[in-house]
Structure 1
């Protein structure tokens, strides 16, 4: 399917007022040449040749290279692609000599277009890629857009819809959105690409965009492609009568454009549509028209399609001899299109074979041919066996490698899991030992030191009635009060070492009680917040969490110089987030990472399989602990 991608890289002259009369005369002459391109191409070529000679005489470099370039475009528009390539090469040679990089890029782009029209896709791709590299250096978005559009056409012809769509969208990205005709053509191209991928609904949306822009811009060219695109849409959706209506409207509009390649495409498609509705006479008419146009412009693709369709029509009409004739022609041309060099070599071999055949008898020919056939079959079987054996060996080797690799992975995972279990066991033993020691010390403080202090207080209390002097009585009262304070401190230390409230009331109430006790001071306040639904944990885990918070709060009280702190619990599904914040002076995380308190915190964090994040600045410190409750012990 022909698509309107092959837009010639043509740039209208932006005529500025220049004092030199010769330059002004050349510009006017080029304007006149341009106006004659469509209706009087030969006259236009003569004027471009004249502007080229005048530009050389006056050293007007822009006029010289554009005269050559535009001459090539005129030849290309009229299907004379070899002549067009000749002038584009002249443009490149002149611009290389005069160091005009934009002219070289334009020459490359238009040579690519010409090879595209001729069906020589490998050369077209080479020149397209070369032109895009040069155009990207100019940072001219309009030129880059047209270049990407042309490159997308190449991928359309080799049926690579993914890359075709990619480059079309790049073309839209770089396009000037104020130029409705160009934007409409790009939308149409995207629609055709989507249509090729059977995305008919998406394609219809883009065709509608093109139609809307054609109404706004009143462009006959855009209107032509709108009709052609809808014709292709209805052809794809098998509404052949509606497709014929749109294509005939497009054909009528194409008469003023004088684009031989385009006309060949329209006639070819109408031939195909009439064949679909079994109107053989009209299908033949358009097929032969396509055939003649293809010969004129040397368009091998259309030549192949028309020959093949004529063969089909004659076959449907029962004219088998004519059908075979055109089928043979189309088959030969198909091989030429795929690889001309290979076809030439085959033709040479065929000629040699025919020469040798004259010198041999029919029997000898049959023996040779039979032997060749047997050798070929044998060779093919051997190749198949080698291929199958190679594939089997590769698959077997891969299977063995994969088996041992997976086995090693499993072993490594088992080793890591065992190491983790051992590490957890060590941490658990360490924490259990520490808790036992805390309970022992707490018990000794409560039963031993606290009892001794109570006994001392009792003995001292008996002295109150011993007739002490006023001063001694006051001192005695102070000592008793100090003993009371010491007892209270011992009870507090004992409670902190062994928080029995965890066993009775749980973690949340224990932390709330802990905060209430700390808030007895006027210089420091700590707030406790709890969000979410409480998730019951083992007492060991709750104790570990309590110790972490206790250690953090102790550090705040000792070092932060804070006046406020916050403890926040937030339960979210299977995770517990604990935040401890203060408004203190902050600290250097690296400087304190080796302290005993930090090590204790890290040990407990590791035991819980938790994560600890610390943020500290002069405005305060924030500790965030995230615990996966499914992993916590």
Structure 2
């Protein structure tokens, strides 16, 4: 079985159809041997083979089946592999937010298990997803982390891929010197290694850089090297891209024969890729039929077991039926009363939460408005009067006013301090960005203030969320984020915090992640537990949930989920 799995992995890149055949044989053998881990590894390999063949739906279905099996048998490495592969499948289809969710889940489990070998390739994948989302700083951050881990663990295959990615990112950022250095380092590292993808990307990147310098000879040379790298490693996507690129260059120079030759190569590659996909789909149908037959056999066994169980239960039921009917009749009215009481209590709790939160937010706004409009104006008026008095004293030359001016200056200084304090208090009670531009901008400004101290690096990532949500929802979420970050500052001893706001189709998700010391939720005292309960109570009022993922020594991740029905804008 190990030999079949290895053969399948070896043929995944150059012949996905052959890899699928080996994978099916290894999976059948693992089932006969009743070896769940071997079956899980076979499913993971099959998923990658379907992915390389371009059959993304079957690839996702296979990786999900592998993940369910890994969870059932407690195979953490299988779960990490499956999440990473699912992220890759979604990325290949252009769904980068979904890909990022799976990559992050794989990264969290790899960190929890302290498995650096599995973590290394995930970091580069996260960086590539951020690059396609337009978050170039985050892309460079994670890809550089992955590159350093590659060097530390001597993972040459992953290092070569990350070098090609870093070259693309630096080229996109406009740093052609750094991009060229990464591409050339990638090519040197790739000598004798089966990494046609990275080698082809590096040569194409150098060709594009040469084209921007109007170096036609170098551009053609690098493009031809990219084509050879794709052909030697049978990388159809690279062959297709390099052939089309060379055809465009040849056509621009008037060499129609060469342009036609390269276009023919691209067409042959496209047809070959199409044939591979057709064969993979045939294999997928056979694989699906195999899975269906297995499920049918399992259903038949379960059906037979249920029939035996039903017979025994029927015999027992005849004895218990009379007592059960009597019990149901006596308890029905009591149960109805309890249900009604529970519903009433739940409604009262909801109204109580609503009243407290609305009253709290209204009081904040009232106090902030009073401080700004009433007390702030009175202080400003007093300051103006003192300024007028100061000018009058300065104009009065009949008697010295130095002592009076000194006292007046002290009074003006105290008034300036009081006005500044009023403004700070009013802004903390009701942030102007939250009122004017919504939750996303308010969180960005809050993070910017934290970064000014230089002690804490705060990253804010916002996807599909701009403008205003419901006023109460924005207020509650902003206060919760403030409380979580303040707890990190006070207790976590963290150097980096990531705040992510993602609006999906069904819910709004807020993630606050730090790299601090973490904590044990079971060991918290009553006072510390009150803070967590307050967060959960506020989220329960919004109809959402708060999830705490923490353990001593590995940081903390808090995920807030709010249904879109609650977060919809007025």
TM-score bracket relative to the smaller structure = 0.3 to 0.5
- Compare CA radii of gyration and give the structure with the larger one: 1
Q: Please report the TM-score for the alignment, with normalisation by the length of structure 1.
A: 0.41
Q: What TM-score do you get using the length of structure 2 for normalisation?
A: 0.45
